[in-house]
A and B are shown apart, each in its own frame.
Chain A
């Protein structure tokens, strides 16, 4: 019962069933009454025909002059009978009664019409499975001392059959209607709850980090909720962003005094020097961590990658004037959909590593990799890496050489960026320069 859809569907279903059931009962009852009335009218009409066709006999008896034409009154045990009595004495009866006689018991006296199960004592033998409807009338004729009782019965089979047919049709219609209504309710519930489902999906995406807020337009009733959620999300993000900025600012602010202290202390004072190195390490680590958080979250755009790489190479030529950086020419410009910050971090870290370790030369080449990917190869002529080191370089804080400055987080960030951009990285031996080859694959923007 915890689902809104189930609740709505369940309550509507109960209501539909109750309504249809009572409507069905009501209609069936009404029909029964109508049928009964019609049947009663018919029998009364037949009775009147019988009375009208009778004539008073001189011997105080009754003679049927005109019999009822209906052949069922001649068929033995047809259920359609008539009988004329004078007191307890039977004056005349229909052929169909054959050897049976209506015994006038108390129930029938009083001019009421009534159902009876049988006529006479031998009901088992004769009238089995026949329900009879009996109408009866007492009439006093002039010249006859005792009133004459006219009795007429009809087989209710026809009438029951009518009711049964009607009931069957009615139930069929009502069941059909019910199912139809339930389908309609089901569709309505689903359609009505569609915006809520949309919100549910959107929230799931937000949780996964695929989306930042509820974007679509929602119906009037749900829109305030969506707006509120968006505000909350924005507020949350602002708080996180602020916290991250604070951490970043704190770390950055600490760096200047740390620089002052670094330069002021006696180089021989190992204890202080070590502590300062430790402090620097911690600060760097927290900053990089904060930075890792932001990977993939900056504004993305289409980046002309070769143009961007050219700019980066110019910077590295300034930074490492004694290293020769060769960028492959003539490769067709390709685009990568991403944030510039992430790409700068990716290429900055990789090319800086190559410049740091390379002796003289760094080569950057491109290859098409499948339809939608480009392979970027960064080769250097440095010492390269042992297999064991290759496995370790991507772990957080691992540094190949403790003497060379660095936080040991650079390649970690590289790996994280590539993971987010669905790229790959492999470390190989450079076939042309003999040092390390960094082999990265990046999906390109197709539009």
Chain B
């Protein structure tokens, strides 16, 4: 899962990035509205954390522009203002949730998780696919009740598959959602990860669609 954090305070920005990365997300950051809008416009994010008071272009404008351009990733706004009029204008612009500053990082994480889940159409923090179950709260993956030991990249891939079940996912898409912008991307490593995941799960839930990519599905062919 790849997340964009737009916050003009470098320290807070860094803290959020750290916490998100610790929770298994790939994170890109921007310090102003202009750069933030550009990133959101060009990169496929699964969710955005957006501060409203930003230099150059303010958060509401950024959000409105995205929504006009049909970008519909979930957006969590950070605001220092607690008045309802500010919150309402945030929602009017297309926000999905808000957190008021100062916040506990756990709150941001919990709300982001919920947003990503909801945007994928899942109601609970546990997502299942046949014998496979993932607890997005604790970043744990189970097969028939047994916990799998996964590296962070492996976890990111399986989480993405579970959020997009029965959908063909190309290698590029996987790369885009798993690595942050600065990472030296090599789509060949994806094959290695998929191979390792199949082995660790002990079953072939991730099918290869020749010429297209991969698909997570329980149906027998």
Measuring CB to CB, which residues of chain A are less than 8 angstroms from any residue of chain B?
251-253, 255-264, 276, 280, 284, 287-288, 291, 311-312, 314-315, 318-319, 321, 340-341, 344-345, 347-349, 407
Closest chain B CB from A360 CB (angstroms): 14
One of A253, A263, A348 near B104 (C-beta < 8 A) = A263
Inter-chain contact B102/A258, CB cutoff 8 Å: yes
One of A252, A263, A347 near B15 (C-beta < 8 A) = A263
The A/B interface has a contact count, at CB < 8 Å, of 73
Closest chain A CB from B211 CB (angstroms): 38
Flag whether B144 is at the interface (Cβ < 8 A): no
Closest chain A CB from B116 CB (angstroms): 13
Known: A260-B11, A315-B88. A255 touches B80 (CB 8 A): yes
Inter-chain contact B102/A348, CB cutoff 8 Å: no
One digit per residue, 1 when the CB lies within 8 angstroms of any chain A CB and 0 when it does not, for chain B 108-122 equals 000000100010000
Inter-chain contact B83/A252, CB cutoff 8 Å: no
In the assembly, what is the distance between CA of A318 and CA of B50, in Å? 17
Inter-chain contact B91/A255, CB cutoff 8 Å: no
One of A264, A318, A341, A344 near B97 (C-beta < 8 A) = A318
One digit per residue, 1 when the CB lies within 8 angstroms of any chain A CB and 0 when it does not, for chain B 83-126 equals 11101100110001110111111000000001000100000000
Inter-chain contact A252/B103, CB cutoff 8 Å: no
> Binding site of A, secondary structure by majority: helix, strand, loop or mixed?
helix
Query: CB-CB < 8 A to A280: which residues of B?
Result: 102
Closest chain A CB from B73 CB (angstroms): 15
In the assembly, what is the distance between CA of A264 and CA of B19, in Å? 11
Inter-chain contact B85/A341, CB cutoff 8 Å: yes
Known: A262-B103, A263-B105. A348 touches B84 (CB 8 A): yes
Query: CB-CB < 8 A to A258: which residues of B?
Result: 101-102
Choose among A257, A311, A314, A315 the residue with the greatest number of B CB atoms under 10 Å from its CB.
Answer: A315
Choose among B101, B104, B118 the residue with the greatest number of A CB atoms under 10 Å from its CB.
Answer: B101
One of B12, B19, B82, B85 near A344 (C-beta < 8 A) = B85
In the assembly, what is the distance between CA of A226 and CA of B87, in Å? 40
In the assembly, what is the distance between CA of A244 and CA of B39, in Å? 36
Query: CB-CB < 8 A to B118: which residues of A?
Result: 321
Inter-chain contact B9/A348, CB cutoff 8 Å: no
Closest chain A CB from B19 CB (angstroms): 7
Closest chain A CB from B162 CB (angstroms): 19
Closest chain A CB from B42 CB (angstroms): 26
Flag whether B81 is at the interface (Cβ < 8 A): yes
Query: CB-CB < 8 A to A262: which residues of B?
Result: 102-104
Inter-chain contact B85/A340, CB cutoff 8 Å: yes
Inter-chain contact B82/A287, CB cutoff 8 Å: yes
One of A255, A291, A314 near B83 (C-beta < 8 A) = A291
Known: A256-B9, A260-B12. A345 touches B103 (CB 8 A): no
Closest chain A CB from B50 CB (angstroms): 14
Closest chain A CB from B64 CB (angstroms): 16
Query: CB-CB < 8 A to B103: which residues of A?
Result: 259, 262
Closest chain B CB from A272 CB (angstroms): 13
Query: CB-CB < 8 A to B15: which residues of A?
Result: 260, 263-264
Inter-chain contact A284/B82, CB cutoff 8 Å: yes
Query: CB-CB < 8 A to A252: which residues of B?
Result: 53, 80-81
Inter-chain contact A345/B101, CB cutoff 8 Å: no
Choose among B88, B97, B98, B105 the residue with the greatest number of A CB atoms under 10 Å from its CB.
Answer: B88
Inter-chain contact A255/B102, CB cutoff 8 Å: yes
A-B contact pairs, 23 of them (CB 8 A): A252-B80, A252-B81, A255-B100, A256-B12, A256-B80, A256-B101, A258-B101, A258-B102, A259-B12, A259-B103, A260-B11, A276-B102, A311-B88, A311-B92, A312-B88, A315-B88, A318-B91, A318-B97, A319-B98, A321-B114, A345-B84, A345-B85, A349-B84
Query: CB-CB < 8 A to A276: which residues of B?
Result: 102
In the assembly, what is the distance between CA of A311 and CA of B88, in Å? 9
Query: CB-CB < 8 A to B87: which residues of A?
Result: 315, 348
Known: A252-B81, A348-B87. A259 touches B97 (CB 8 A): no
In the assembly, what is the distance between CA of A284 and CA of B102, in Å? 10
Closest chain B CB from A336 CB (angstroms): 16
